[in-house]
Structure 1
Amino acid sequence: PVEGIEQKFNKRLVLDKLSRRVWVSGQELLPPLSVPQFRLLEALYDNEGRVVSRQDLVLAVWGDEEAVGVSEQALDALVRRLRDRLAVLDPNHAYLITVRGYGLRLDNPPV
């Protein structure tokens, strides 16, 4: 990962907002995440260890204008695709933890 920017280098998942790149277990995630996947991961990364409500995630990914018509299934599908992408580089750890009835949290352990 690029030096000189705010990152959590001692964590298994590192997100670089400036270059919009993601590393998992020291390997860059390629091809890059889609814009919605990156926004979802960014919202969770910014609140690491805290539960983020489904509504807050919808707003973070789709914004105020588009969020009105977003279904539960659309968010679930996006979460599933992001989980699949992260699992390619680290199949033994679940980074996105579902908190039933509320939302998600990012579990990003130390290296």
Structure 2
Amino acid sequence: MKILIADDDPQFLKALRITLRSQGYEIVTASDGVQCISAAVEHHPDLMVLDLGMPKMDGMGVIQGVRGWTDAPILVVSGRTDAREKVAVLDAGADDYVTKPVSIDELLARIRALVRRIPQKTETPMVSFGNVTVDLSAHAVFRVYHGRKVRVRLTPTEWKVLEILVRNAGRLVTRKDLLAGIWGAEHVNDSGYLRLYVSQLRKKIEDDPSRPKYLKTEQGMGYRLDLPSAGGGE
């Protein structure tokens, strides 16, 4: 079980990391919101523990940035006590909210409660469409050429775009969600970058990039990966 902890208080971060590791959890940490988004994209935590008052991007921005492509439970641990803010955070996609200072026993109990809600993974994270296979666990893409399976070389950013689309196969992923998930909320208007990477991906995974069969554009909204088993249409 992998947990991402994001907090700009180094003492709290260290104490929680040590405690959770002693409980058998794998821990990834971030000290600001932008690092948190990047760590979520790279490590795919099963659960996230977030502070709200982080630099570069606050906890609300992180929640909005990741909720478009992950259902991992989010526990907010914050010193803010305003009831309206708690409601806003929960409505944005957080699963629980606890106010600092909090005892470690209560925090562990809330984490255990959220962990119990996580569906058990029973399937191999492998997706195939056409002559392409995406192995999410190995961060690898393979394509059959002339009867031979070869690895497709993707840049780190191309992989992030494809991975988010694969994990949401058959569903629209908005440009805003993709941009926030890859580069952070401050880049949600940089759609030119995204078009470039999508174009490059099509050249690598589509038989006819000018008439994509799988990586579809939803005009004015975003992108969708259509798979035979995902119920996607033309």
TM-score (norm 2): 0.38
Which residue of the partner structure matches residue 51 of structure 1? 172
CA distance, structure 1, for counterparts of residue 161 and residue 181 of structure 2: 7
Higher relative contact order (CA 8 A, sep 6+): 1
Structure 1 residue 22 corresponds to structure 2 residue 141: yes
Q: Secondary structure of 2:178's partner?
A: helix
Structure 2: give runs of 5+ residues left out of the alignment: 1-122, 230-234
Give the Å deviation of 1:93: 5.0
Answer yes or no: is the 8 Å Cα contact 1:51–1:103 preserved in 2.
Answer: yes
Answer yes or no: is the 8 Å Cα contact 2:202–2:212 preserved in 1.
Answer: no
CA distance, structure 2, for counterparts of residue 103 and residue 76 of structure 1: 10
- Any runs of at least 4 consecutive aligned residues in structure 1 with deviations exceeding 4 A, and if so which? none
Give the Å deviation of 1:15: 1.5
Equivalent pairs counted in the alignment come to 100
Give the Å deviation of 1:8: 3.2
Answer yes or no: is the 8 Å Cα contact 1:52–1:105 preserved in 2.
Answer: yes
Structure 1 residue 79 corresponds to structure 2 residue 201: no
Name the larger-Rg structure: 2
Q: Using a 3 Å threshold, how does the CA distance of structure 1 residues 56 and 37 change in structure 2: closer, same or farther? A: same
How far does the alpha carbon of each residue in 1:75-109 deviate from its partner, in whole angstroms, 9 at most, with x for none? 1111111111113xx33752211011111000123
- Among the aligned pairs, what percent are the same residue? 29
TM-score (norm 1): 0.73
Structure 1: give runs of 5+ residues left out of the alignment: none
CA distance, structure 2, for counterparts of residue 21 and residue 78 of structure 1: 17
Which residue of the partner structure matches residue 105 of structure 1? 224
Which sits farther off after the overlay, 36-45 or 13-22?
Answer: 13-22
CA distance, structure 2, for counterparts of residue 59 and residue 68 of structure 1: 7
CA distance, structure 2, for counterparts of residue 52 and residue 59 of structure 1: 11
Which residue of the partner structure matches residue 37 of structure 1? 158
Which sits farther off after the overlay, 47-56 or 15-24?
Answer: 15-24
Q: Secondary structure of 2:223's partner?
A: strand
Q: Using a 3 Å threshold, how does the CA distance of structure 1 residues 27 and 94 change in structure 2: closer, same or farther? A: farther
Give the Å deviation of 1:17: 2.0
Q: Using a 3 Å threshold, how does the CA distance of structure 1 residues 60 and 96 change in structure 2: closer, same or farther? A: same
CA distance, structure 2, for counterparts of residue 57 and residue 104 of structure 1: 9
Answer yes or no: is the 8 Å Cα contact 1:83–1:94 preserved in 2.
Answer: no
Give the Å deviation of 1:7: 1.8
CA distance, structure 1, for counterparts of residue 127 and residue 191 of structure 2: 31
Which sits farther off after the overlay, 42-51 or 20-29?
Answer: 20-29
Q: Secondary structure of 2:171's partner?
A: coil
CA distance, structure 2, for counterparts of residue 36 and residue 68 of structure 1: 17
